Amino acid sequence: MLTFFSKYKFFGLVLLGLSAVIVYLFYNALQPKKNLPVFQPSMVNPELVDSTLHYTKKYHTIADFSLTNQNGETITQKDYEDKIYVADFFFTTCPTICPIMTKNMVTVQEKIKNDTDVMLLSHSVTPQIDSVAQLKKYALEKGVDDRKWNLVTGDKKQIYELARKSYLAVKTDGDGGPYDMIHTENFILVDKERRIRGFYDGTKEEDIDKLMADLSILKDSYSE
């Protein structure tokens, strides 16, 4: 009897392994596909949204823009065409949350450095201070990869309207006047159709982990 079991032990183990694989594949096939929401202004805290958009329930996308990056190049929505990207708002002289946000964005940059589908975009909220030269200095200090990450400056009113009306990211409703100041810790995940797919606290490591997980889900949705 022992000889019989010994003889067929290998086949039994193989059969057990195949059974486990089949069960796993069936389990995965039965699980619902993970999808990210498409954020509309009506889904976001009204304090973060321009009053003209409070009741917008569909078709919200990031507006066209034209700004200047750390290399003096004009950056528009065309540079992000058919790309997933992560956007934020910062300023180079910020002593509080910006250094943490930049550090975490560098972490994101490291994780996507070989991914041609994903880019980063950081908007200066003090463009009168953050000249091209200042942005370049900051980029070099922080380890910004020019191929993946644009730090942009430009017309203050345009940047503030983008923050408030496109990215739905800030509570201050200033229109970009000389004394207006916006400050937000939000990282915003934008898909290839220029739609918002997620908001994350750029100062928290756990939110960066969530961002990376959501980025993977979003990328998978384009390969289905």
| 3-class secondary structure, 131 | coil
Examine the domain organization and report whether 181 and 126 are in the same domain: yes
Is 60 annotated to bind a ligand? Reply is no
Task: Say yes or no: 8 and 112 in one domain.
Answer: no
Q: Quick one: which of 120, 182, 187, 188 has its CA closest to 156?
A: 182
Number of domains in the chain: 2
Q: Hey, what's the torsion of the CAs at 95, 96, 100, 105, to 10 degrees?
A: -80
Which residues span the domain enclosing 20?
A: 1-31
pLDDT tens-digit series, residues 4-48: 445 555 555 555 555 554 544 444 444 456 899 999 999 998 888
Q: Looking at the structure, do residues 154 and 182 belong to the same domain, yes or no?
A: yes
What pLDDT score was predicted for residue 48? 85
pLDDT at residue 182, rounded to an integer: 78
In a domain, residue 199? The reply is yes
Q: Do strands 118-124 and 149-152 pair parallel, antiparallel, or not at all (unpaired)? A: parallel
The predicted-structure confidence for 104-162, as pLDDT tens digits, reads as follows 999 999 999 999 999 999 999 999 999 999 999 999 999 999 999 999 999 999 999 99
Mean pLDDT (whole number) for 42-69: 91
**Is position 162 within any domain?**
yes
**How sure is the predictor about 217, in pLDDT bands with cuts at 50, 70 and 90?**
very high
For residue 77, is it within any domain? yes
Tell me the per-residue pLDDT of 68-116, one tens digit each, with 9 for 90 and over. Answer: 999 999 999 999 999 999 999 999 999 999 999 999 999 999 999 999 9
Alpha carbon distance, N-terminus to C-terminus of the chain: 52
CA distance 142 to 144: 6
CA 210 to chain centroid, in Å, comes to 10
List the CATH number of the domain containing 137: 3.40.30.10
Q: Please tell me the predicted confidence (pLDDT) of residue 26.
A: 47
pLDDT band at 170 (very low <50, low <70, confident <90, very high): confident
My answer on whether 17 and 82 are in the same domain is: no
One domain, residues 54 and 132 = yes
- 98 marked ligand binding residue: yes
For residue 36, tell me if it sits in a domain.
Answer: no
Q: How far is CA 119 from CA 116, 123, 170, in A?
A: 8, 14, 22
Residue 52's pLDDT band, with cuts at 50, 70 and 90, is confident
Residues 2 and 100 in one domain: no
Same domain, 8 and 100: no
The confidence score (pLDDT) of residue 31 equals 47
Question: Using CA atoms, how far apart are residues 111 and 109, in angstroms rounded to an integer?
Answer: 5
Do 128 and 213 belong to one domain? yes
Distance of CA 37 to the CA centre of its chain: 14
Could you tell me if 190 and 99 lie in one domain?
Answer: yes
Residue 13 lies in a domain: yes
Task: Read off the pLDDT band of 51 (50, 70, 90).
Answer: confident
Contacts 24+ apart (CB under 8 A), 5-9: none
The residues, ordered by sequence, that sit 6+ positions from 93 with a Cβ below 8 Å of its Cβ are 126, 129
